[in-house]
Amino acid sequence: MDIGFALAVLGLALQFTVARFYENKVPPGAPLALLQGIYAVPFQYRALIPLAVRALLQVPTGLSFMWLYAAFDLAAVLALCIVMRGLIFRFAGNRLFAALAALGMFYVLPFNFVHTFWYPSDIPSVLFFALGVFLLMEQKWFWYYPLFLLATFNRETTIYLTLTQIAVSIGTVRRIGLWQHVALQVLIWCLIKGTLWFIYMGNPVVGFGLFENQLWANFEALADWRRLATYLMNFGGIWIPVVIWQHKLAQPFVRRALLVCVVQMLVLGMVGVLDEMRVYGEMIPVIYLALAVLVWQVDGVSKVAGAMQLWLTGAAAGIATELSLEAEPANAAGAQL
């Protein structure tokens, strides 16, 4: 199963990464300007991947900066699928179901990250959010805070991780401990954003420098049925069954985490472009996890997945036994010689 999962993920990730670079709009001059630190803010504030590419260009790899951007995109997609398999396994407890469900991410990702604008921070932001949710769930603070720091250099949307911690923790953990975590994360976030503002304070400015007011433009976009249809197919439409059946989620953690999706939608209604699907990417892990858990709760799914896993395990054990039996005569002949 692990080998099959790895091969499937690699093939699908390569196809998705190629589509990202050949079917998206790359803002003119943006990839190079981001490396040079002269691109418009707030885009330049999302500095993690451009800085990493700039550092790797000092190594004589022979790769251009666009190839390095593509390598980071590919690595982020591969890691995202592995993390999603771990998240789903955490609730389902079945390796086969977790692997197949994680592959389903390649149905959702193109809706948000193909046929849109390309920016290097987009896919890593989804990976960081999935990892952050996993570490929050496991309460592994030693790893969570370095991740939070790196992810904030990548994109300011790590603040949604803080909101997720609040949503899943209220009433379930000590109040003082929760607000200590929240205060520390807000402090880290403000220090990083303040540092980036200081470094790039002379850059060209888009909107207000931190965001653009899109509220009235989004109201107008609702009247365009094509743009509205694109918006409603956000996340590939998987949000629809999640909204309808979210009350049936047996996992309070997932049900509470979904509340942050509502906050994101309200915020992006004011500062995001309605049908620019890439800006909604951080919530993909939460919504997709909710859908996977709902599917797992359907009567019979766990039994079928369990039976298939046992069959695969038995088949693998049978093949290994046959190979060992075939090898014994050869070993005996070798010993005689």
> Looking at the predicted structure, is the pLDDT value of residue 285 above 50?
yes
- 3-class secondary-structure state, position 304: helix
Q: What is the pTM of this model?
A: 0.89
> Looking at the predicted structure, is the pLDDT value of residue 123 above 90?
yes
pLDDT at 327: 54
- Reported as a pLDDT band with limits 50, 70 and 90, residue 208 is low
Span 133-166, pLDDT tens digits: 999 999 999 999 999 999 999 999 999 999 999 9
Is 73 in contact with 52 (CB distance < 8 Å)? no
Q: What is the mean pLDDT of residues 259-279?
A: 90
Is 120 in contact with 50 (CB distance < 8 Å)? yes
Span 247-265, pLDDT tens digits: 999 889 999 999 999 999 9
Q: 122: Cβ–Cβ under 8 A, 6 or more apart, which residues?
A: 113, 278, 281
Mean pLDDT (the chain) is: 89
> Looking at the predicted structure, is the pLDDT value of residue 299 above 70?
yes
> Looking at the predicted structure, is the pLDDT value of residue 331 above 70?
no
Please state, for a pLDDT cut of 90, what percent of the chain lies above it.
68
CA distance 141 to 135: 7
Element (H, E) at 333: helix 301-336
pLDDT at 316: 57
Between helices 105-113 and 284-297, what is the axis angle to 10°? Answer: 150
- Which stretches within the chain are classed as H helix? 2-22, 30-36, 48-56, 65-92, 95-103, 105-113, 122-138, 141-154, 159-169, 175-199, 215-221, 225-232, 239-245, 252-271, 284-297, 301-336
pLDDT at 161: 96
> Looking at the predicted structure, is the pLDDT value of residue 333 above 60?
no
- Reported as a pLDDT band with limits 50, 70 and 90, residue 329 is low
Please give the single-letter amino acid code of residue 110. Answer: P
- Reported as a pLDDT band with limits 50, 70 and 90, residue 322 is low
> Looking at the predicted structure, is the pLDDT value of residue 44 above 60?
yes
Q: Report the half-sphere exposure of 188 (CA within 13 A, side-chain side).
A: 21
Span 55-111, pLDDT tens digits: 999 988 888 999 999 999 999 999 999 999 999 999 998 999 999 999 999 999 999
> Looking at the predicted structure, is the pLDDT value of residue 337 above 50?
no
Distances in Å between the alpha carbon of 82 and those of 37, 90, 237, 288, 311?
32, 12, 23, 14, 23
Q: Report the half-sphere exposure of 52 (CA within 13 A, side-chain side).
A: 18
Distances in Å between the alpha carbon of 332 and those of 268, 326, 327?
71, 11, 9
Is 243 in contact with 234 (CB distance < 8 Å)? no
The Cβ of residue 10 has, within 10 Å, a number of other Cβ atoms equal to: 14
Is 5 in contact with 103 (CB distance < 8 Å)? yes
- Reported as a pLDDT band with limits 50, 70 and 90, residue 318 is low
Span 174-184, pLDDT tens digits: 888 899 999 99
pLDDT at 283: 95
pLDDT at 121: 95
> Looking at the predicted structure, is the pLDDT value of residue 336 above 80?
no
Whose tokens are 């540092």? That residue is 195
> Looking at the predicted structure, is the pLDDT value of residue 215 above 80?
yes
pLDDT at 196: 95
